Structure 1
């Protein structure tokens, strides 16, 4: 039996507590829920939001990054981005030339 890849480490309780705290802090930072979208507003994935506006997912990402879609119209939960249906409909009404009609 080959044991070349087996490593043993000795850690104190304080080391483990510190490591767990770091992991918990990282999780909290990546999963912060932005309160810009009210709880009663429907949240749409990028795909659903692009279908609603009649544009491609690439276009909605570009619009978000360039600021064409206002910051209060989307939020990040962990890594995924979600869009406020209400805000996107408001955006579509105010920017008819940018949105394809259905």
Structure 2
């Protein structure tokens, strides 16, 4: 799913509401938000952030990438920014905001 450049958040799926994408993969439903996290340098960092953010209610997927500092989260509804900030802080890193 590609995030909109102005808000970096989209709702829905990449397949326009169909249950499967053209390539046969299942469509991801929910809200996709990309956050910027500082301090991640390796796979261990990615795992720590992923574990803490994944524990937030409504989160269905988290992908942290240390090389870019981006954490992509798919959730049922928009997440409270302060809850995400607290989860990232618990992992030992800093939430810089939306990517």
Same fold (TM over 0.5): no
**TM-score normalised according to structure 2 size:** 0.33
- Structure richer in strand, relative to its length: 2
- Structure richer in helix, relative to its length: 1
Larger radius of gyration: 1
